[in-house]
Structure 1
Amino acid sequence: MQLRTFIVEDNATIRENLIGTLEELAGVKALGWAENERDAKSWLVANPIAWDLTIVDLFLKQGSGLGVLEQIRVRSPSQRVVVLSNYATSDMRKRCTELGADAVFDKSNEIDALVEYCMAMSEAAGPAP
């Protein structure tokens, strides 16, 4: 199954590389993306059940990934939210988990773990109907 994924990342190069990698290796289908908190919240409010996975960076052009996490704290049990950030300290991981993140990955050294997470999520969902 392809994971319908929304990406919240303001760095175009990172976003494009992330989408390419996850689509190729992990069964991800990027539905769209946002560069700031307002646009991310807007899309997520307009599409509450359209996605399986949302990947959120913490530092955005405007606003914060923490605000995005708060927006989608209440969601379907099958929907997952992960944080991908250069600021994945133990305190920030704890805060993200408190706000409902299912996992937190460090951009600098945990991309493989994110790919594995997405692959496992896709396999658990089974084949597309």
Structure 2
Amino acid sequence: MKILIVDDHVIVRDGVIRLLSAIDGAVMREAATVPDALALFRSDRPDVVVLDINLKGGSGLELLRRIRAEDPSARVVIFSMYSDVVYATSARRAGALGYVSKSATSDQLLVAVLRASRGEAYVDTAIAGEIAETAFSPAEHVTQLSNRELEILSMLADGKSLSDIADTLGVAYKTVANTCTRIKEKLGVERTADLIRFAVENRHIRVVGTGREAGPA
């Protein structure tokens, strides 16, 4: 099995390589940046990609979208510091088969990679439990939000400014501002301050229903 590990921290890549070396016949390559990861993906066509969300000079979710655009059959497992349903849902919508937080037990990443190699989905147990707990929340209007809108809402909850979000996503400030306007319209809030308050106070509630298909970005 060919596995591409994409993370900008050497110590993380080393740990993942040691863990996945338990897989018989595993051949692993590693990358720290979006350009290097794309180049290796194109040349090696790995069976599974293990991908972090935060990468230097780019977003792992954007890389996931680019990989899936080039190869819709690509099998990707997100391995991220974020143990948040918003990110797990965003990753799923972008085409990831698996999502494992870095706070999960090591065997869960191994299971996720093995399942992904067979085309099966896997979400680590803590996040899966949170999804189950919030499945019947009354915040149904959140289901109107697109993948990108959910991503921006999550960043607002983390205290990022619109400029920070624009830099992280690699888009213009005006693009983020316009997206926030659409989010406010969908959620029925008028001011950006109210939107931020909603994001912070409803970190779990706001992700309810994101297992459903959302509208276009």
Per the shorter chain, which TM-score range? 0.7 to 0.9
Q: Residues 15-71 of structure 1: CA distance to partner in whole angstroms, max 9, x if unpaired?
A: 0111011112x33320x2111112212222334xx3100000001122111121011
CA contact (8 A) 2:77 2:112 kept: no
When the two structures are aligned, how many residues end up with a matched partner?
117
Distance 1:110 1:80 in 2: 21
Q: How does 1:30-49 map to 2 (within 5 A)?
A: 30=28, 32-47=29-44
Distance 2:115 2:60 in 1: 24
1:97 Cα deviation after fit? 0.6
Distance 2:59 2:116 in 1: 26
Q: Which residue of 1 aligns with 2:55?
A: 60
- Secondary structure of 2:68's aligned partner: coil
1:100 Cα deviation after fit? 0.4
**Aligned-residue identity in percent:** 27
- Secondary structure of 1:73's aligned partner: helix
Q: Which residue of 1 aligns with 2:127?
A: none
- Looking at secondary structure, tell me which structure has more strand per residue: 1
1:108 Cα deviation after fit? 1.2
Which residue type is aligned with residue 68 of structure 1?
A: L
Look at both structures and tell me which one has the larger radius of gyration over its CA atoms. 2
Which residue type is aligned with residue 4 of structure 2?
A: F
Distance 1:88 1:8 in 2: 18
1:117 Cα deviation after fit? 2.8
**Structure 2: segments with no counterpart, 5+ residues:** 120-217
Which residue type is aligned with residue 7 of structure 1?
A: I
Q: RMSD across aligned C-alpha pairs, in angstroms?
A: 2.1
Distance 2:21 2:68 in 1: 25
**TM, length-normalised to structure 1:** 0.79
Q: Which residue of 2 aligns with 1:10?
A: 8
Query: Which protein has greater RCO, CA pairs closer than 8 Å, 6+ apart?
Result: 1
Which residue type is aligned with residue 109 of structure 1?
A: A
Distance 2:83 2:19 in 1: 21
- Looking at secondary structure, tell me which structure has more helix per residue: 2
**Structure 1: segments with no counterpart, 5+ residues:** none
CA distance 1:121–1:41, shift in 2 (3 Å): closer
CA contact (8 A) 1:37 1:67 kept: no
